Amino acid sequence: MPFRDPVTAQIAAFVTEIGLEIRTVELTGENFLPGLRIEGSVILVDEAQLLYPGDILHEAGHLAVMTPEDRRTTGEHAGEDAGFEMAAIAWSYAAALHIGIDPLIVFHANGYKGGGANIVENFRKGQFFGVPLLQWMEMTAEPRQAEKLGRPPFPQMRKWLRDEPAQGDGQSL
């Protein structure tokens, strides 16, 4: 899975390190995002068509917040649920920080209906959304609840992949 672009390579290395699969392919037909498609639990990347390497990280976020069963059976419309979209956004922000890339690579000007920079600005100020879902999935904790829950505060993550459906502790959402 060699990528020419170093940022793409860095993102792909992280995504595979956490247990998701990326394959380099030549994509034909239309795709929701240029150069990317999800088939099953695999992220297919056509680097020649890929416009924004950060889109790989966001698509990985969609897979990461799914249960293992849902990951196995998903397709190209992995992010159609608004709640899970928010969780994937929060996840990809945390992942960008974790691997040391500028979050604006993920939240670029041509994505997020032009609001990528606003998302980053709000997250940098601690104005998070999607984090309650990540907390419910036991992947991280809202900063004000982290100590009580014994989990690292967002944007630190306890785990990068959701396992089984959250049991819920009555305090998570």
Cβ–Cβ contacts within 10 Å for residue 117, how many? Answer: 14
Q: Would you place residue 76 in the very low, low, confident or very high pLDDT band (cuts 50, 70, 90)?
A: low
Task: Give the domain extent around 64.
Answer: 6-149
Average pLDDT value for residue range 135-157? 95
Average pLDDT over residues 32-54: 93
Q: What domain count does the chain have?
A: 1
Q: Is residue 166 part of a domain?
A: no
Instruction: Tell me whether residue 74 is in a domain.
Output: yes
Q: Does 112 map to a domain?
A: yes
Q: Is residue 64 included in any domain, yes or no? A: yes
Most confident of the following: 38-47, 67-76, 93-102, 105-114: 93-102
The pLDDT, as a whole number, for residue 72 is 85
What number of CA atoms fall less than 13 Å from residue 13's CA on the CB side?
13
What is the per-residue pLDDT across 156-173, written as a single tens digit (0 to 9) for each? 999 999 997 766 543 444
129 against 75, higher pLDDT:
129
Q: Which residues contact 37 (CB under 8 A, 6 or more apart)?
A: 27, 31, 43, 44, 76
Residue 110 lies in a domain: yes
Q: Is residue 157 in some structural domain?
A: no
